[in-house]
C-alpha cells in the first residue's frame, strides 16, 4: 500500500481504492441504523465492538457524531452519515457551508485507518407529508452544493449522496399504479435525475408496522412474511406481504419517471418491541426474521423478480429512550438490542452468526432500584409521577406496553426508578417527598424490566461529576416547571 509520505493525500488514496474496486459488484447486505437519542448511552467503542461481534458491516447514522465516527475508524464497517433536516437550509444557500461540512465530517475521517464513509444521507424523510413542504425547497440545492464540495475534495466518486424518503412520498391502490404524490413529483423527478447521474441509489423507509398501527382495518398477517389470507391481486401479480407491495409501488412510481431500473436501498425497516398494541418481542422477531430470510433468498418482488433491494438497514440497533414520542410511544423501542446492548430476542441476521451476540464490558451502575415506599400513603403521588415521567422514559407503562399490567404501585415504582437511574442513582432523586425508597431487590415483574443505568463514558473517559451536574441541573429545571404549573411562583 502506498504511504502518504510519498505525496498521496487521504483523498487520493480513496480515489485509488475506487479505481481498483470499481469493477467489483457491490454485494447486498443487512445493515443497521445506529441512533444515539438515549438517556443511557453506551461508549461508542462498545457499540462498534457489538457491530463487529455480530458481523454487521454496514451502519447508518443520523448525524455526524464525532465520537461515533472516531470509534468507527479502522473498523472496516461501511458508514452512511446523516445530515439532519434542520441543516438543509444552510447547506443549500452556501458552498462555504457545504465545503466546511464535508471537510469536518467526511474528509477528516477518511484515509488509511479511517472510517469507511460510503454515503451521505442529505436530510431524513424531508418530503414527509406532515412537514408540509417545509424542507422541500432546500433538498436539491443542498445536494448540488454538497456534490460540488465532494468533488473539490476528490471524493465525489467514492462518497455518494442520497436522500432517505418516507414511503408516503408515493401512493396507489395497487402496486403497479404507484406514483409519487403530485405535490412532490417535480422535486423527486429532479432528485432521481441527480441520483442516476451520480450512480446513487434511491433510499426509502418502509414500515408495515405503521400501516398496521394506523389502520384498524389493515390485515395483520399481511404485515408479515409467512403468507396471508388477504393477498393483493394486481393483474398477473399477487402480493403476500406489505413489504413487497410497498416496494413495488415505489418501483412503479420510479418507472413512471423513466427510472424503473434505479437501484433501491431500504434505509429503515423494522418492528418495535414495546409501547403499543402489536409492539412486542414476538411480533418483532417474527417480522425481522421473516424480512431477513425474504431479502436474502434473492427472490425479489413481482416487479423485480430475482432482484432484492441493494441493502436493507434494520431500524434499529439500540433502543432510544430519549426519542420524541409524537408518532407514538413505541418510538423508543425499535432496537434489536436494548439500550445496554443486550439482545432482546433470538435473531439470525444471515451474516455468519446464528444468534445475536450481546455487548461486552458494559459498565452498569450498582444493582439498586428506587421503588414506592410501601409504608407511606401514596395518595399524593400523581404529581411526582408526572415529574418523573416528564424526564425519564415511562412508555412501557402505556396501554399495550410490557409494564402496563403491573398495578398502581408497580407503575409508581417504575416511574420512580426510571427517574432515579436517569439521575445516575443520586440518593436525593429517590426521595419524592418521602414516597420513594432504595431497594437492592430487583423489582422486575415478568416481561416488565426495571432497568439499571449504565455509567456515562465519553471519549475522554468517565466523568461522573459532569454527568451528575447535568442530571441535577435537569432536576432543578423540572422542579421549576413543576412549581410554575402549580402556580407557586
Helix and strand numbers (H, E) in the chain are 13, 19
Element (H, E) at 121: strand 116-122
Asked if pLDDT for residue 352 goes beyond 50, the answer is yes
pLDDT at 21 over 80: no
Whether residue 115 contacts residue 10, with contact meaning beta carbons closer than 8 Å, is answered with no
User: What is the Cα–Cα distance from 403 to 415, expressed in whole angstroms?
Assistant: 11
In this prediction, residue 298 carries a pLDDT of 94
Write down the catalytic residue from 136, 268, 320, 331.
Answer: 268
Residue 125 is among the residues annotated as catalytic for this protein: yes
Fold classification of 26-332 is: TIM Barrel (3.20.20)
Secondary structure element (H or E) that encloses residue 380, with its range: none
Do residues 188 and 171 lie in contact, with contact meaning Cβ atoms separated by under 8 Å?
A: no
- Tens-digit pLDDT profile for residues 125-182: 999 999 999 999 999 999 999 999 999 999 999 999 999 999 999 999 999 999 999 9
Burial-class residue 185 by CB neighbours within 10 Å (0-12, 13-18, 19+): middle
* Active-site pick, 125, 136, 320, 331: 125
Nearest alpha-carbon partner for 287 in 175, 354, 208 = 208
Residue with cell 410490557: 402
Is-contact 416 426, C-beta < 8 A?
A: no
Nearest to residue 146, comparing CAs of 165, 162, 164, 135?
Answer: 162
b (16+ CB within 10 A) / e for 232-262: bebeebebbbbbbbbbbbbbbbbbebebeeb
First to last CA, the chain: 68
- Asked if 355 contacts 348 with a C-beta cutoff of 8 angstroms, the reply is yes
- Of 339, 334, 213, the C-alpha closest to 276 is 213
Q: What is the pLDDT of residues 222-280, one digit of tens each?
A: 999 999 999 999 999 999 999 999 999 999 999 999 999 999 999 999 999 999 999 99
Per DSSP, helices labelled H in 358-397 are 382-391
Q: Is the peptide bond before 316 cis (omega within 30 degrees of 0)?
A: yes
- Rounded CA-CA distance 154/65 in Å is 23
d(CA 99, CA 91): 9
Higher pLDDT, 438 or 487: 438
- Give the whole-angstrom CA distance, residue 57 versus residue 27: 11
Domain boundaries, the chain: 26-332, 369-485
**Residue 211: half-sphere exposure toward Cβ, Cα within 13 Å:** 22
The CA distance from 180 to 172, in Å, is 9
Q: What is the pLDDT of residue 291?
A: 97
In tens, the pLDDT along 29-53 reads: 899 999 999 999 999 999 999 999 9
Q: What is the pLDDT of residues 293-350, one digit of tens each?
A: 999 999 999 999 999 999 999 999 999 999 999 999 999 999 999 999 999 999 999 9
Q: How many beta carbons lie within 10 A of that of residue 483, not counting itself?
A: 11
Half-sphere exposure of residue 403: CA atoms within 13 angstroms, side-chain side:
23
Rg (CA), the chain: 24
pLDDT of residue 29: 87
Say yes or no to pLDDT of 26 above 60: no
When pLDDT is cut at 50, 70 and 90, the band that residue 28 belongs to is low
For the entire predicted model, the pTM comes to 0.88
| Bridge partners for 135 per DSSP | none
Amino acid at each position: 500500500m502506498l504511504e502518504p509520505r510519498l505525496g498521496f493525500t487521504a483523498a487520493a488514496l480513496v480515489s485509488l481504492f475506487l479505481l481498483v474496486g470499481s469493477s467489483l459488484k457491490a454485494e447486498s447486505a443487512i445493515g443497521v441504523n445506529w441512533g444515539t437519542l438515549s438517556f443511557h448511552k453506551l461508549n461508542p467503542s462498545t457499540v462498534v465492538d457489538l457491530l463487529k461481534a455480530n458481523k454487521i458491516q454496514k451502519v447508518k447514522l443520523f448525524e455526524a457524531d464525532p465520537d461515533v465516527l472516531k470509534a468507527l475508524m479502522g473498523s472496516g464497517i461501511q458508514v452512511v452519515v446523516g445530515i439532519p433536516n434542520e441543516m438543509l437550509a444552510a447547506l443549500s444557500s452556501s458552498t462555504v457551508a457545504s465545503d466546511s461540512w464535508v471537510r469536518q465530517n467526511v474528509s477528516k475521517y477518511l484515509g488509511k485507518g479511517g472510517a469507511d464513509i460510503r454515503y451521505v444521507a442529505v436530510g431524513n424523510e424531508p418530503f414527509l407529508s406532515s412537514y408540509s413542504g417545509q424542507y422541500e425547497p432546500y433538498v436539491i440545492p443542498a445536494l448540488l452544493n454538497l456534490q460540488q464540495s465532494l468533488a473539490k475534495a476528490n471524493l465525489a466518486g467514492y462518497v455518494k449522496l442520497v436522500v432517505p424518503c418516507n414511503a408516503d412520498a408515493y401512493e396507489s391502490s395497487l402496486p403497479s399504479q404507484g406514483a409519487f404524490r403530485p405535490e412532490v413529483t417535480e422535486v423527486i423527478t429532479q432528485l432521481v435525475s441527480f441520483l442516476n447521474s451520480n450512480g446513487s441509489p434511491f433510499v426509502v423507509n418502509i414500515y408495515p408496522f405503521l400501516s398496521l398501527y394506523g389502520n384498524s382495518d389493515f390485515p395483520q398477517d399481511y404485515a408479515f412474511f409467512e403468507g396471508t389470507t388477504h393477498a393483493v391481486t394486481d393483474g398477473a401479480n399477487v402480493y403476500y406481504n406489505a413489504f413487497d407491495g410497498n416496494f413495488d409501488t415505489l418501483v412503479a412510481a420510479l418507472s413512471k419517471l423513466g427510472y424503473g431500473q434505479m437501484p433501491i436501498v431500504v434505509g429503515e425497516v423494522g418492528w418495535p418491541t414495546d409501547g403499543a398494541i402489536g409492539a412486542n418481542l414476538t411480533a418483532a422477531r417474527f417480522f425481522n426474521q421473516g424480512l431477513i430470510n425474504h431479502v436474502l433468498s434473492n427472490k425479489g418482488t413481482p416487479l423485480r423478480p430475482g432482484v432484492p433491494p441493494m441493502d436493507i438497514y434494520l431500524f434499529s440497533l439500540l433502543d432510544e429512550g430519549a426519542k420524541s414520542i409524537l408518532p407514538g410511544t413505541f418510538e423508543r423501542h425499535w432496537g434489536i438490542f436494548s439500550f445496554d446492548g443486550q439482545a432482546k430476542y433470538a435473531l439470525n441476521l444471515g451474516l455468519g452468526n446464528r444468534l445475536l451476540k450481546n455487548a461486552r464490558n458494559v459498565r452498569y451502575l450498582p444493582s439498586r432500584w428506587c421503588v414506592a415506599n410501601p409504608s407511606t400513603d401514596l395518595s399524593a403521588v400523581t404529581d411526582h409521577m408526572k415529574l418523573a415521567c416528564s424526564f425519564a422514559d415511562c412508555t412501557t407503562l402505556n396501554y399495550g406496553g410490557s409494564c402496563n399490567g403491573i398495578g398502581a404501585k408497580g407503575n409508581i415504582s417504575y416511574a420512580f426508578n426510571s427517574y432515579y437511574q436517569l439521575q445516575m442513582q443520586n440518593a436525593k432523586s429517590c426521595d419524592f417527598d418521602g414516597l420513594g425508597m432504595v431497594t437492592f431487590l430487583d423489582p422486575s415483574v415478568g416481561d416488565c424490566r426495571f432497568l439499571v443505568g449504565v455509567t456515562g463514558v465519553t471519549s475522554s473517559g468517565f466523568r461522573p461529576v459532569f454527568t451528575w451536574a447535568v442530571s441535577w441541573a435537569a432536576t432543578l429545571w423540572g422542579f421549576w416547571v413543576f412549581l410554575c404549573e402549580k402556580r407557586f411562583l
